[in-house]
Amino acid sequence: MQTAVKQIRHPYITVDRKIRDGEPIIAGTGIRVLDIAIKYEIMGMSPDDILSAFPHLTLSQVHDALSYYYAHKEEIDRKWKDEIKEIEVMRKKHTSLLEKKIGKIKDIHR
């Protein structure tokens, strides 16, 4: 027995290789789905809080971005983790000018 899978449309989300290297964004903005997901998941912001941070968005756009994130969570999370690894490699290769002047800075985010 086959189960029909309904495709969910995300009317407020677009993917264009020319914008943000093809990352999913809220259409008409440069705001990535990941930006919304981080504010919601990691920073603990509510959709209304996110609207305060991005007052040009609508609640429908925020909810659609979160829906898109959860529908593509593994892919988006994997890409984000890969980017974090790349940043760590770059940090090791290139000391900041400030660190050169005042010495090693303690990473308060760890």
What is the SS3 assignment for 25? Answer: strand
The pLDDT score that the predictor gives to residue 2 is 62
CA distances (Å), origin 51, targets 20, 34, 36, 56, 91:
21, 15, 10, 8, 32
pLDDT of residue 12 exceeding 60: yes
DSSP letter string, 56-107: TS-HHHHHHHHHHHHHTHHHHHHHHHHHHHHHHHHHHHS--HHHHHH-PPP-
pLDDT of residue 109 exceeding 60: no
The pLDDT score that the predictor gives to residue 91 is 82
Report the predicted TM-score, pTM, of the whole model to 2 decimal places: 0.76
Mean of pLDDT over the chain: 87
pLDDT of residue 35 exceeding 80: yes
Mean pLDDT in residue range 39-60: 96
Q: Which domains does the chain have, with CATH numbers?
A: 13-102 (1.10.10.10)
